Amino acid sequence: MNQISPLQQARYDYQPKLPSVFMESGPFAAARSGEETHSVADQKQIKELFPDIYGLPTVTFARGSTFDCPPLKVGVILSGGQAPGGHNVIAGLFDGLKALNPDSELFGFLGGPSGLVDNKYIKLNEALVNQYRNTGGFDMICSGRTKLEKDEQFAQVTQNCAEHGIKAIVIIGGDDSNTNACALAQYMLTHKTGVQVIGCPKTIDGDLKNAWIEVSFGFDTATKVYSELIGNIMRDANSSRKYWHFIKLMGRSASHIALECALQTHPNFCLISEEVEEKGMSLNQIVDQITALVVARAENKMKYGVVLIPEGLIEFIPESKVLIAELNNFIGKNKATFEGLTSDGKLEYVVKHLSPASLKAFESMPLMIRKQLLADRDSFGNVQVSRIETEKMLAALVEERLAGINKARAAQGAKPVAFSAQTHFFGYEGRCSAPSNFDADYCYSLGYTAAALIGAGKTGFMASVRYLSCPAQDWEAGGIPLTMMMNMETRHGKDVPVIRKALVDLSGKPFKTFVEHREAWGIGTEYVYPGPIQYFGPSAVCDLTTVTLRLEQA
């Protein structure tokens, strides 16, 4: 028997809160239709690709009466990277289906979309689900990154569903996974299979959001975990007073995590990739800004500080973005030759084929980063940005810049600026934490909402729970058509429909609040030490939402 901690046992016993509509009506709540919808862009193309889903009205649940629901057989998958609360989505779905009809069955397909295609599954029962309530991770059925996008995959899924009598599939994932859910829903309608498809919004990056999806699940927990760690480092920095800490945080396509952690902890410097791109900031300008802050703090006898860096920063710096595009294109076309070279050979090979501007950008980077730009490429020949140690690059470039400054200071008889850097990357530390009370409640509500959408006969929808800065009983549950979030983008040289990623809104209140305070945070020590996630105690402490959400809904 596996040993469990007292906290884990206590989390098993926690009963997530639900919107009042479900407390009163269960999953039999009445689905009320709103106005017809349209995609965020490229309406004509999206409508042609998804004719049976496009334009469907939004749905909100209101108090309803019990109706006869036959036993339902439903499949569920976890898709993409882990996020705290995934197990509670499954628990909420399980409980909702059983409330619709006690004889309903839930099939957990193993390893993500591949399990759905390969027909690898387990039947989820109450004993198994109870072992995972309010726990972190995706280990109940595990996840995977196989893309569901080909007709032959859809045909196999249809066959597997027919074999088991499955009439609905719930896909728990991010923007790519829910794009695939939309394509699967359209396929099921086109071929009149009778199989419904419902999506649930998951990603700790926070870039799956809009007016109806106020936050993706896992973001609350992950940012609280990271903020605890950042606060611990700040306390250490303020104690030893001799290190500059460069901390890279998850978030390749958007800087929501970095912004939220900055609002929670008040670092001396935080980069927001979207601002870097809008202002066209070069790598040299970024290094100049950090170096100037190091000098200013040193002159105030503060030889320490904390810098937060979004994971995807390098793709937002204009010259680096062009460089990466050139590298991806060139290496993709010459993959066989490139892969046959040594590490040094790859460097020599590439520099001969870069444009002058990209060559200048490439050679301005430390050798370690140049090699990382050429290593560990994906199956399409593209750089894997998450593996580029941007935090080490910035620390090294600041040190290099300070060496020149100190040389000039020495010539003037001035004391050198002391600088010693420590680097960190917080990523996996936040993906599988036990969910905060907010994420435990929100995820359970999303799963329950998915069950209600299935009971209402909906397909091609994403479960939506809104007004999340209010107490859970005041949340509004419903659903939005997946097509509502879509546009056309060029991927690997081909125009394809995708759910648009939500970037940090530079005109929004969270970013403006950060801008208002960052100068004072830079030169001072207004550090905030959030401490660990609180599960027990006053609601004002334990059920607290992110600063971002509170500011957005103030």
- What positions carry a catalytic annotation? 205
Closest CA to 429 of 230, 279, 133, 155: 230
For residue 205, with 0-12 CB atoms within 10 Å meaning exposed, 13-18 middle and 19 or more buried, which class applies? buried
Rounded-to-integer distance, Cα 523 and Cα 535, Å: 34
Q: Could you give the dihedral angle defined by the CA atoms of residues 180, 185, 188 and 193, in that order, rounded to the nearest 10 degrees?
A: 130
Separation of alpha carbons 25 and 99, rounded Å: 10
Cα–Cα dist 121/114, whole Å: 10
Q: How many CB atoms lie within 10 A of CB 276?
A: 23
Q: What are the residues whose beta carbons fall under 8 Å from the beta carbon of 362, sequence distance 6 or more?
A: 323, 350, 351, 354, 370, 373
Burial class (CB in 10 A: 0-12, 13-18, 19+), 42: middle
For residues 146 and 113, the answer to whether their CB atoms sit within 8 Å is yes
Q: How far is CA 171 from the centre of its chain?
A: 16
**What does the alpha-carbon distance between residue 461 and residue 481 come to, in Å, rounded to a whole number?**
4
What distance in Å separates the CA atoms of residue 478 and residue 272, rounded to the nearest whole number?
32
CA distances, 358 to each of 40, 73, 215, 365 (Å): 34, 55, 37, 11
**Measured between alpha carbons, how far is 186 from 180 in angstroms, rounded to an integer?**
10
Which of 337, 366, 369 has its CA nearest to residue 352? 337
How are beta strands 476-481 and 461-466 bridged, if at all?
A: antiparallel
Give the whole-angstrom CA distance, residue 297 versus residue 318. 29
One-letter amino acid identity for 534? Q
Q: How far apart, in whole angstroms, are the C-alpha atoms of residue 57 and residue 339?
A: 50
Number of residues that make up the chain: 554
Largest interatomic CA distance in the chain: 87
Q: What is the 8-class DSSP label of residue 446?
A: H
Beta strands in 379-512 (DSSP E): 421-426, 461-466, 476-481, 486-491, 494-499
- Cα–Cα dist 93/132, whole Å: 13
Q: Please give the helix or strand (H or E) that residue 11 lies within, else none.
A: helix 6-13
